[in-house]
Structure 1
């Protein structure tokens, strides 16, 4: 079992944009080569890259890997960014391999990729070791993708389902095993629940989505879920899927199955409403955004390392607390100017208004507020080159 030391991600002081639009790259590795840092260039405010970077000078390959939850957003970001660079005369290939959060961080910290996407921020040990591949400087995290985690299910004849936190924790702990168990049936009086085995489905890989989901369970139903927030599933047996797509496929392929996944990947599966206070709340980007707004920024981090602590126990109306925040892990310094410029330009696009709107339209995520984008841009601007 891989128990990560840091408590989960969140983002509150981040604040989120009010008009949350709803509307979806391959892998690889490589290093950026060629191109000299130039003058001019755009800024986050106009949808361009880092100030002081000439798009026309960006060439070579920039590889990242990590969280599969943000795959749709990363696909949209890489395609849009490369189109912008090409329009300015540059020629850069940006790739993102959706390997899962754990593998993404491992590849980043071993120097295989230049950035990582992760649904769980780098912990103290990872931050300390990052200096070995970050030109002597420490890595840092930027929140770039905010999305609800949907509790998806596939149960013949059932389209709507209410679940209390205790029932949800009991299902995944293996203590509630049939769909007509009173813990479920009592909250669904109008639903004909069958006397059928529940088949919980978990992620088989090291997953930040798993860590976010189990962090929620451990905060709201610690008596039922005793394993704490974990990235690697702690219970032997059961059905599983590799990555978000693997989990969704496993749930789709069964009957009586239930799992957890980034809401953008829920597809045609049933999605449970979760009890918060006295109401059952459906997932929406707005409800996820509200969960983030009521949560504080994590303490004990460097100023450029933007990590939050989600308050999963809030009972505020309209909040959906099973939320993931996917981070971009970047080096504080890169070994050459071309790589640093490419990373800064790409990261600046992601946190810009245009980049966040692109993710909202293609992956249904909740955009960062201008204030958070400004904080993230300041961290990006601090990246240096050796």
Structure 2
């Protein structure tokens, strides 16, 4: 199984990604070896491409963002790479989780949010409290598979059809040698080890994406719907943020959870049933799902929320996909703040920015077609 581009070191969830991108700044809290290496990679790119990505104007100031912990490896890479473009700009990002990030942004506590779920109708109704025009920019800038991770001695991968995955997390399948798992793995000698499912303890866009998949493909087994908060009547173990789930799964034989694939590390991962085949996660397989998905209807031109085709039967598609958004205002009362947001998001969306995220977090770069729509939305920020 190939993990070379998707295996990253875990960063403690308490660490706030805060890199001061001043000419004299270097080692702020949250910087680690990975982000240092990323900065070097970012500055090795063509300066013509870098200047084009940022508009060529030298800026100074501070941006505050918070939200999805799934993005944290990518955000480190983006912020370090942006240092080579705008050394006078400080970007702070706190990986507090998607729900917390959206809440903070909509309460006026940050300049932008990272979220593994787009704003729902109730949240959209409050945008006018923080954005001057009441309009929002939602940009799908981080695309990654959600891995079903497990810790089972002697196994690196296990095949599971959709209804089996649903049964594991609905706690109707409780042993690794259950006939439904054994049928999908005829050549494996599965142990009678109890299955212990692990879920997020916090409001999580990753949970929302994962349960959206379960609800779409196996709603008769997973009867809890698409939820951001894990159902309270289910047992299992819980972990705070992405790293907490990974650490909990690592702690016990037979444990299984879900997490952004960039943080799967050396844990085993499930090959997901799609049509007549079982598909392992990869950036390319995740990107395939977006190719067959549509925009959410009824949204503004700057709101690029995507309705994912999670029940696709497309060969080679990995359907448990996390599309993580950058959420910002279409209008800021402060012209300087608007300029900083536009410049930073332009870098993140650029070819260089997307490649840096792919290299450091294993994400799938957005297509040129999607980048055209994304840049048009960024250009509308004022």
Shorter-chain TM range is: 0.7 to 0.9
Q: How big is the shift at 1:47?
A: 3.6
Contact persistence 2:54–2:344 (CA under 8 A): no
Q: Mark the CA change 1:195 to 1:52 in structure 2 (over 3 Å): closer, same or farther.
A: closer
Q: Mark the CA change 1:49 to 1:135 in structure 2 (over 3 Å): closer, same or farther.
A: farther
Q: Aligned pair 1:294/2:297, yes or no?
A: no
Distance 1:274 1:343 in 2: 38
Structure 2 residue corresponding to 1:142, chosen from 139, 156, 159: 139
Q: Aligned pair 1:178/2:179, yes or no?
A: no
Contact persistence 1:28–1:63 (CA under 8 A): no
Query: 2:84 — aligned with what?
Result: 83
Q: Mark the CA change 1:74 to 1:64 in structure 2 (over 3 Å): closer, same or farther.
A: same
Contact persistence 1:47–1:353 (CA under 8 A): no
Structure 1 residue corresponding to 2:57, chosen from 38, 54, 57: 54
Contact persistence 1:119–1:207 (CA under 8 A): yes
Structure 1 residue corresponding to 2:164, chosen from 144, 164, 167: 167
Query: 1:26 — aligned with what?
Result: 16
Q: How big is the shift at 1:304?
A: 1.1
Query: 1:321 — aligned with what?
Result: 319
Q: Mark the CA change 1:52 to 1:189 in structure 2 (over 3 Å): closer, same or farther.
A: closer
Distance 2:141 2:299 in 1: 17
Q: Mark the CA change 1:70 to 1:206 in structure 2 (over 3 Å): closer, same or farther.
A: same
Structure 2-normalised TM-score?
Answer: 0.86
Structure 2 residue corresponding to 1:357, chosen from 348, 355, 358: 355
Higher RCO (CA-CA < 8 Å; seq separation 6+): 1
Q: How big is the shift at 1:158?
A: 2.2
Contact persistence 2:289–2:319 (CA under 8 A): yes
Query: 2:262 — aligned with what?
Result: 264
Q: Mark the CA change 1:50 to 1:129 in structure 2 (over 3 Å): closer, same or farther.
A: farther
Distance 2:266 2:259 in 1: 13
Equivalent position SS for 1:274: strand
RMSD: 2.0
Q: How big is the shift at 1:92?
A: 1.5
Equivalent position SS for 1:103: helix
Distance 1:51 1:96 in 2: 19
Structure 2: unaligned runs, 5 residues or longer: 9-14, 21-47
Equivalent position SS for 1:153: strand
Equivalent position SS for 1:214: helix
Contact persistence 2:19–2:91 (CA under 8 A): no
Equivalent position SS for 1:372: helix
Equivalent position SS for 2:147: strand
Structure 1-normalised TM-score?
Answer: 0.85
Distance 2:225 2:73 in 1: 29
Structure 2 residue corresponding to 1:152, chosen from 134, 149, 153: 149
Equivalent position SS for 1:327: strand
Query: 1:39 — aligned with what?
Result: none
Q: How big is the shift at 1:50?
A: 7.1
Contact persistence 2:160–2:271 (CA under 8 A): yes
Q: Mark the CA change 1:160 to 1:252 in structure 2 (over 3 Å): closer, same or farther.
A: same
Q: How many residues align?
A: 345
Q: Aligned pair 1:229/2:226, yes or no?
A: yes
Equivalent position SS for 1:272: strand
Contact persistence 2:143–2:286 (CA under 8 A): yes
Q: How big is the shift at 1:194?
A: 1.4
Equivalent position SS for 2:184: coil
Equivalent position SS for 1:69: helix
Query: 2:202 — aligned with what?
Result: 205
Contact persistence 2:19–2:90 (CA under 8 A): no
Structure 1: unaligned runs, 5 residues or longer: 1-20, 31-44
Query: 1:273 — aligned with what?
Result: 271
Greater shift, 21-30 or 263-272, is seen at 21-30
Contact persistence 1:128–1:138 (CA under 8 A): no
Distance 2:148 2:65 in 1: 28
Contact persistence 1:148–1:285 (CA under 8 A): yes
